[in-house]
Structure 1
Amino acid sequence: MELADRAVGLLLTLTSLSIFTYYTFWVIILASSDHFVHKYFLPQEYAILIPVYAAMALICFLSVFVGYVMLKSKKKKA
Structure 2
Amino acid sequence: MATGTDQALGWGLVGFSMSIFIYYTAWIIILPFIDEGQLIHSFFMPRIYALVIPLSSGVLGLLVIGLFVGVTMLKSTQKEKTS
TM-score, with length taken from structure 1:
0.77
Give aligned-pair identity as a percent: 39
Higher deviation after alignment, 10-19 or 68-77? 10-19
Q: How does 1:1-78 map to 2 (within 5 A)?
A: 3=3, 9-31=10-32, 32=34, 33-78=36-81
Q: Which has the larger radius of gyration?
A: 2
Using the TM superposition, give the Cα deviation of residue 16 of structure 1 relative to its aligned residue in structure 2, in angstroms.
Answer: 2.5
- Higher mean alpha-carbon deviation, 46-55 vs 9-18, is at 9-18
What stretches of structure 1 of length at least 5 have no aligned partner? none
TM-score in terms of structure 2 length: 0.73
User: Residue 35 of structure 1: CA displacement?
Assistant: 3.2
> 1:6 and 1:73 mapped to 2: Cα distance?
37
Deviations 1:26-63, CA, capped at 9 Å, x for gaps: 11111133432110110111111111111111111111
Superposed CA RMSD in Å reads 2.3
In the superposition, relative to structure 1, how do residues 68 and 6 fare at CA in structure 2: closer, same or farther (>3 Å)?
A: farther
